[in-house]
């Protein structure tokens, strides 16, 4: 394959429109582009987690694969369409969550985001994932697409939550529980 991005600036988006893969131009504030932008933000947040070099190999492996899948989702959402996210990829996230959860104490309260840089980065990615999911749902109501994308994003936010817990355990960081007001 030749160079796909030989010129970084094209000036074709200066009018507030951008090209889709099929050549159609849409406004940069279109819900499809909002979703593509939040996918990019989520991918960057996952890159930040990986930059903190989690020592748990299963977390590194899953997050590295996830970065590829997020690009695949972007490809699915940009015509010409092709299916990349499948029920098996959702199941793979569920398998990781279940495996990680067996090593963690049960939750009795909500956990406050934070802890250390690794866990905080994971919680930030989780919240960005939730926003990405909301953007996906908004677009899905107007323009149907592969529903496995919605399931994948939903499981991914769960996986990021459990990964944050596992990273807290890995680093010896105490999870701060919500101290809700009791009457």
DSSP string, 104-134: SPPP-SPBPS-SSHHHHHHHHHHHHHHHHHH
Distance CA 23, CA 26 (A): 10
Q: Which CATH number fits domain 32-171: 3.40.50.170, 1.10.10.10, 3.40.1710.10, 1.20.1200.10?
A: 1.20.1200.10
pLDDT mean over 6-29: 80
pLDDT at residue 104 is higher than 80: yes
Which pLDDT belongs to residue 1? Answer: 45
Q: How many residues does the chain have?
A: 183
Contact call for residues 143 and 24 (beta carbons, < 8 A): no
Q: Quick one: which of 84, 85, 80 has its CA closest to 19?
A: 80
How does pLDDT run across 31-71, given as a tens digit for each residue? 999 999 999 999 999 999 999 998 899 999 999 999 999 99
Per the prediction, the chain carries an average pLDDT of: 91
pLDDT at residue 158 is higher than 70: yes
Task: Kindly write down the DSSP assignment for every residue of 14-26, as one continuous string.
Answer: TTSEEE-TTS-EE
Name the residue ranges covered by the structural domains of the chain: 32-171
């Amino acid at each position: 394959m030749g160079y796909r991005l030989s010129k970084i600036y094209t000036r074709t988006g200066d009018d507030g429109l951008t090209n889709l893969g099929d050549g159609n131009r849409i406004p940069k504030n279109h819900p499809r582009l909002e979703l593509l932008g939040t996918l990019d933000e989520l991918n960057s947040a996952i890159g930040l987690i990986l930059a903190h070099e989690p020592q748990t190999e299963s977390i590194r492996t899953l997050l590295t694969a996830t970065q590829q899948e997020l690009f695949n989702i972007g490809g699915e959402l940009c015509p010409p369409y092709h299916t990349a996210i499948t029920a098996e990829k959702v199941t793979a996230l569920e398998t990781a969550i279940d495996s990680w959860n067996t090593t963690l104490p049960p939750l009795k309260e909500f956990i406050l985001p934070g802890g250390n840089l690794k866990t905080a980065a994971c919680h930030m990615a989780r919240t960005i994932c939730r926003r990405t999911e909301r953007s996906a749902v908004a677009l899905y109501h107007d323009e149907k697409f592969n529903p496995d994308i919605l399931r994948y994003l939903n499981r991914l936010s769960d996986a990021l939550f459990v990964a944050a817990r596992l990273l807290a355990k890995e680093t010896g960081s105490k999870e701060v529980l919500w101290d809700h007001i009791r009457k």
